[in-house]
Amino acid sequence: MTESATPSLGLVTDELRAAIGKESEPWTVEVDKTSIRMFARAVGHTDPVYYDEEAAKAAGYRSLPAPPGYLGTPVYNPKTSDAFGGRRMNLPQPGRPLHRVLNGGTEIEYFDDICAGDVLTATSYLADVQERRGSIGDMLIMTMKTVYRNQEGKVVAIMTGTTIRY
């Protein structure tokens, strides 16, 4: 937890602090040509490498590359997956109820190409938790990291997402 100049607001409990760094169970993410094309089209990419395998190979890719922001489609398992296909992480609750949630942003760092045919394994963990008082009241800021490894076990991307509860 990052220390701040303000006294504790009581949002970060010992249980929440202890959850920092604990990795989720892994889940599988598949990268296929149809999903790559659909994502690229949805966000307005017109580069032929996202649609035409010959163009992708001519550009040095193994197959269609995943466009920026697309990290595959989670394989959904209704017994273990959350609404998006990832693993449910039952994080401890803050010291008092915070009913509103705001997306604080998402960043993705890439370490290698992700292409059609790849099967990725993802795991998440709580990386940081902070409490702050702001113009909208008391806030709990949680940073999650999700690590994506390809079928060879190599880390190909790390996604960092921030959630603000208030």
Q: Model confidence at 99, in pLDDT bands (50, 70, 90)?
A: confident
Name the pTM for this structure.
0.86
Note whether 88 and 78 are within 8 A (CB). Answer: no
pLDDT of 37 strictly over 70: yes
User: For 42-73, how does the pLDDT look when each residue is reduced to its tens digit (9 = 90+)?
Assistant: 999 999 999 999 999 999 999 999 999 999 99
pLDDT of 133 strictly over 80: yes
Please say whether the structural domain 14-165 has been given the CATH code 3.40.50.11400: no
User: For 10-33, how does the pLDDT look when each residue is reduced to its tens digit (9 = 90+)?
Assistant: 899 999 999 999 999 898 999 999
